[in-house]
A = this chain, B = another copy of it.
Amino acid sequence: MPIQFDVDPTVARLAATTSAFVREVVIPAELACGGSVHDGPEDLRQTLQKAAREAGVFAPHVPTRWGGHGLDLRGQAVVFEAAGYSLLGPLALNCAAPDEGNTHLLERIATEDQKRRYLRPLAAGETRSCFAMTEPAPGAGADPRALRTVATRVPGGWRIDGHKWFISGARGAGFAIVMARTSGEPGDPGGATMFLVDAGTPGMRVVRDIETLDEGLFAGHSEIVFDGCVVGDDQVLGAVGQGFAGAQVRLGPARLTHCMRWLGVARRAQDVALERAGSRLAFGAVLGDLGMVQQMVADSEIDIEASRALILRTAWELDTGSASAAQLTSVSKTFVAEAVYRVVDRAVQICGALGISTADAPLARLFREVRPFRIYDGPSETHRFAIARRAVRPYRRPVSAPAEA
């Protein structure tokens, strides 16, 4: 059984159907709304998801028990790239962030009761969710240990107090998975716990929608205030005190599925650029025959192929539980986020005025969408820090003082 990249025929068929669905159904819808769904248009979501169900491409990542196609991460890599070709593709297939990652997390660590109550409707697209971890400075950001939201023991449950922001999809979500400190102090490496909090629970309020450069994430990013929000013991997700470990269950795959979807964005931008390069005349030649354009085109093909190869490798490591999966996930997140950005940036440059016009081509929108990808889910710097630390560790020698170095 040597190394091989053949795609399982079932996956290949699903990817092909997804591609056709995205081109025929989703892209027209995307162009109609300019790719902006920050205000969370519920009609559009339901229309697209209904169409996806009818096309047989809904929920590729959801376990078959809950009505999905049950793909592993390698299968997801192929299908999510096809879905990501439109900014709204993942929404249509119900595999967009943050719901896709939350689905995975619930499947892995929720109780059966919690699965029936939260996972089932989420997987079916009947509700949406959010993952409330990030806090305004000086709270949890690139460094999660700075967590300041606290959950205090009360009879039969917990009272949550704190302030979250940049919580994607919070507005209109049916429930939130909330990270709060149940012990220790900000800066401590442990002591966090996750809670499932239903929308409408007294004391939890979405207080502001944050306008951002990107607008392609459904319902955008919001600030949430927790002020004496009480939840029951049955709403603890995973074990008390194990919140950070639980978040890792979510974050590894979630970072990689991000990469898969964004790779579709890169392919889209490159195709728009190629369309232009193949037909636009300049300086007596087709644009695509000019050396500097060829260089941009080639660099983008290279970025796309390297991203795809890395994603597949990492998906395999995560699927098989390899010890180096965490390192490869950081490597992929860092490389792909930057590669996708470069691809879109080059597409803008190749298309010139058309590239920065928001009405005549999708590039200006894609450009705005991909910039934050280098920050969301851990900025590149945080991942590089983690990569380097793991790489240096085996070579670290005790150095107590310069004199003994």
Contact = CB atoms under 8 A, between A and B. Distances in A.
Interface of A: 1-8, 11, 72, 74-75, 134, 137-138, 141-143, 146, 148, 165-166, 186-187, 210-214, 270-271, 274-275, 277-284, 286, 288-295, 297-299, 301-302, 305-306, 308-310, 312-313, 315-317, 327-328, 331, 334-335, 345, 348-349, 352-353, 355-360, 364, 367-368, 371-372, 374-375, 379-381, 383-385, 387-389, 391-397, 399, 402-403, 405
A88 to B, nearest CB: 19
Nearest to A358: B211
B356 A2 contact: no
Contacts of A310: 305-306, 309
Contacts of A271: 395
B284 A396 contact: no
Nearest to A374: B349
Contact of A213 (B309, B356, B393): B356
Contact of A313 (B210, B270, B309, B359): B309
A402 B281 contact: yes
3 closest Cβ pairs, A-B complex:
A291-B291, A278-B395, A294-B388
Contacts of A1: 1, 4, 6, 8
5 contacts: A138-B403, A165-B353, A187-B402, A290-B381, A302-B334
Nearest to A289: B392
Which of A142, A380, A381 has the most chain B CB atoms inside 10 A of its CB? A381
A281 B379 contact: no
Given A2-B72, A187-B402, A334 B298 contact: yes
Nearest to A294: B388
A402 B298 contact: no
A270 B380 CA distance: 19
Contacts of A186: 402-403
Given A213-B367, A298-B383, 5 more contacts: A138-B403, A301-B327, A302-B387, A305-B310, A349-B374
Which of A277, A294, A393 has the most chain B CB atoms inside 10 A of its CB? A294
B356 A212 contact: yes
Given A313-B309, A384-B294, A283 B143 contact: yes
Contacts of A274: 391-392, 394-395
A262 to B, nearest CB: 15
Which of A142, A210, A271, A295 has the most chain B CB atoms inside 10 A of its CB? A295
